[in-house]
C-alpha cells in the first residue's frame, strides 16, 4: 500500500519526488529500490530529519505501530501532521501515544492509488485545523478521489473500497474464464470486460438515475441481460456480493478489537 501511494503521488507531479522521504525499520535494500524506481529519498531511520518534515505518513504493520510511535515521539512537534494508513489503529490511540494536541488523520486508500484512481477515506482527529485538513486532502487527491467520513464508518468503507478492487478482479477472473470457454483470448476478453466495467462505472458516476433503473434500462423481457441476471440471482450472486462487503467490514472491526486488546495487555 505504501508503494502504491508513492506511485500515485509521484505520477501526479503535484509534489516533487525529491520532497518525499521514505524509511523503514531494517530493510535498506527496499529503500534503495524505491529511490531508484520513483526518485524519492530513501533514508535510514536514524538519518531522518524530523524537524523539516510537514507530514508523516504511517504505513507500517499495525502490530508495529506502538513501537514506531514511541520512537517518533521525542523527535516530532505537536504541530506536525500525522496521517495513518494503519488498519485497526484508532485516531485516539495515536493521539494518546504522541503529544497533546497532535493533529492526526486516519485514511484508508486502496491499491488503485498506484495509478491515481483510489477511493480514499479520510477521518480527522479533533486537533486537525482547517489548513491541515486542506493540505491532507490535496495530498490524497494525488492518488484519486477522497471522501471525508466519520472514523466509526471506516470498517464499512474498508469493506466497500479498501477490499473492493479484489471483488472486481474476482469477477473478471470468471468473465475471462467464460470468454476462454467460448474461444476468445484472455487478452481480448480482459479488454472487453474491463471496458465494460469502466463504462458502467462512468454511468454510475454521471447518471442521475438510481442503480436499479440503470439495470432495468438494459434488461429486456426474455432477453440476454434478463437471462444473465436470472442466472446471477439463482446462483446467489447478489447475496454473495453483499456478504463480501459485510464480512470484510466485520473482519476490519475484529482486527481493531484484537489490536486494542493486545495494546491493553501490555
Q: Which residues pair with 81 in a beta bridge?
A: 55
pTM beyond 0.75, yes or no: yes
Q: Flag whether 61 is marked binding.
A: yes
- CB contact set of 48 (below 8 Å; sequence gap of 6+): 21, 23, 75
C-alpha cell at 246: 459485510
Percentage of the chain lying above the pLDDT 70 cut: 98
Half-sphere exposure at residue 3, Cβ-oriented, CA atoms within 13 angstroms: 9
Q: What is the pLDDT of residue 259?
A: 77
Residue-level pLDDT at 88: 83
Q: How many CB atoms lie within 10 A of CB 142?
A: 19
Question: Which contacts qualify for 193-196: CB closer than 8 Å, 24 or more apart?
Answer: none
pLDDT in tens, 104-140: 999 999 999 999 999 999 999 999 999 999 999 999 9
Mean pLDDT, rounded, of the chain? 93
Confidence of residue 28 (pLDDT cuts 50, 70, 90): confident
In this predicted model, what pLDDT tens digit does every residue of 63-101 receive, in sequence order?
888 889 999 999 999 899 999 999 888 999 999 999 889
Is 59 annotated as contributing to ligand binding? yes
pLDDT surpasses 90 at 20? yes
pLDDT tens per residue across span 185-206: 999 999 999 999 999 999 999 9
pLDDT for position 264: 67
pLDDT band at 266 (very low <50, low <70, confident <90, very high): low
Domains in the chain (CATH in brackets) are 1-149 (3.40.50.720), 158-250 (1.10.3730.10)
Amino acid at each position: 500500500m505504501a508503494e502504491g501511494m508513492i506511485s500515485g503521488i509521484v505520477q501526479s507531479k503535484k509534489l516533487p519526488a525529491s520532497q518525499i522521504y521514505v524509511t523503514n525499520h531494517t530493510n535498506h535494500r527496499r529503500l534503495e529500490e524505491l529511490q531508484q524506481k520513483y526518485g524519492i529519498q530513501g533514508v535510514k531511520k536514524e538519518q531522518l530529519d524530523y524537524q523539516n518534515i510537514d507530514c508523516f505518513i504511517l504505513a507500517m504493520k499495525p502490530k508495529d505501530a506502538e513501537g514506531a510511535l514511541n520512537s517518533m515521539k521525542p523527535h516530532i512537534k505537536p504541530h506536525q501532521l500525522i496521517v495513518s494508513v494503519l488498519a485497526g489503529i484508532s485516531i485516539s490511540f495515536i493521539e494518546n501515544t504522541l503529544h497533546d494536541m497532535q493533529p492526526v488523520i486516519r485514511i484508508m486508500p486502496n491499491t488503485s492509488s498506484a495509478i491515481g484512481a483510489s477511493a480514499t477515506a479520510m477521518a480527522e482527529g479533533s486537533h486537525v485545523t482547517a489548513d491541515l485538513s486542506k493540505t491532507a486532502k490535496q495530498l490524497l487527491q494525488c492518488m484519486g478521489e477522497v471522501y471525508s467520513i466519520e472514523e466509526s464508518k471506516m470498517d464499512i468503507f474498508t469493506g466497500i473500497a479498501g477490499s473492493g478492487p479484489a471483488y472486481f478482479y474476482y469477477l473478471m477472473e470468471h468473465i475471462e474464464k467464460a470468454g476462454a470457454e467460448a474461444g476468445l483470448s484472455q487478452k481480448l476478453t480482459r479488454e472487453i470486460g474491463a471496458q465494460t466495467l469502466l463504462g458502467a462505472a462512468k454511468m454510475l458516476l454521471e447518471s442521475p438515475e438510481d442503480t436499479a433503473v440503470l439495470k432495468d434500462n438494459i434488461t429486456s423481457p426474455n432477453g440476454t441481460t434478463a437471462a444473465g441476471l436470472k442466472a446471477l440471482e439463482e446462483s446467489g450472486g447478489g447475496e454473495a456480493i453483499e456478504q463480501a462487503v459485510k464480512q470484510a467490514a466485520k473482519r476490519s472491526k475484529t482486527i481493531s478489537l484484537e489490536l486494542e486488546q493486545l495494546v491493553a495487555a501490555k
